[in-house]
Amino acid sequence: MPVTPNSIVTPQTVWSATAVATTANTTYTDSPTNTVLLAPVYLLNPNPFSVTNGSPLVAVTQAAHGLATGDTITVAGATAVGGITPSGAYQVTVLSASSYTFTHGSNASSTATGGGSAVTVQDSRTSRNGARINRMRAFTGQSTTAAEAQLFSSFDGGVTKRLIATALVPAYTIPSTTTAQTGGDFGYTDSNPYPQSPGETLYIGTSVSGRIIVSATGFAY
């Protein structure tokens, strides 16, 4: 965002997210099929989980998580801890700015701390306080015909999704040693960003089955 002598500069945090759409959506209605949440994925510090024998509660350490009680996270990449392996979507209960709990589907069989070094968390917010997205690109992850990458907006947690932009991804054969992908660009720039609203979530769709990868960068407030 350009700064002038009279600008009031608000502290910003770099924001980035990636989504991969693999199954075709063929409708532009407010209930599209096969869309994927575009939201940041966070790699947690090693062994972020603590569990107690006989309890389904999993305590998580995640610095500056920004979550609120009732938010949903999606956990991936964890190894077993106390006889359970957290994976999938969970609602959280916030304990502090750096910790929260969620309820697993079964009880732990021992008291332990663990989870491994590859635990990632994607939360249900694209950005809690909104973001200015100044770059959004789409590429194919496999040989495919031309495809349309679709961007949908929702203000009710994904129940209603409205089409707001598309980008054409040209046909491409992978691998190529002579021609780089041009990809598709949604047209957002520093001077023409997408001003995401508080509480707004974004979803990605593709017009053909395959592997369409959309990445976005910007600033959160």
What is the torsional sign of CA 47, 51, 53, 57? negative
92 closest CA partner among 47, 115, 122, 117: 122
Which residues does 212 contact at the CB level (< 8 Å), separation at least 6?
Answer: 20, 21, 22, 138, 139, 140, 141, 147, 149, 169, 204, 206
Provide the 8-state DSSP code for 199: T
Query: What percentage of the chain exceeds 70 in pLDDT?
Result: 91
d(CA 103, CA 205): 30
Domain containing residue 105: 41-123
CATH number of 90's domain? 2.40.30.20
Is the pLDDT reported for residue 75 higher than 60? yes
Q: What pLDDT shows up at residue 67?
A: 87
- The residue among 123, 157, 183 that closes a domain is 123
71, 151: one domain: no
Summarize pLDDT for 148-199 with one digit per residue, the tens: 999 999 988 889 999 999 999 999 988 888 888 889 999 999 999 999 888 8
> Number of folded domains in the chain?
2
- The residue among 66, 93, 123 that closes a domain is 123
Is position 7 within any domain? no
Rounded-to-10 torsion of CA 65, 62, 124, 88: -170
- CB 37, CB 44: distance < 8 Å: no
CB neighbourhood size of 215 (10 A): 16
Summarize pLDDT for 118-138 with one digit per residue, the tens: 999 987 666 666 788 999 999
Is the pLDDT reported for residue 36 higher than 70? yes
Is position 33 within any domain? yes
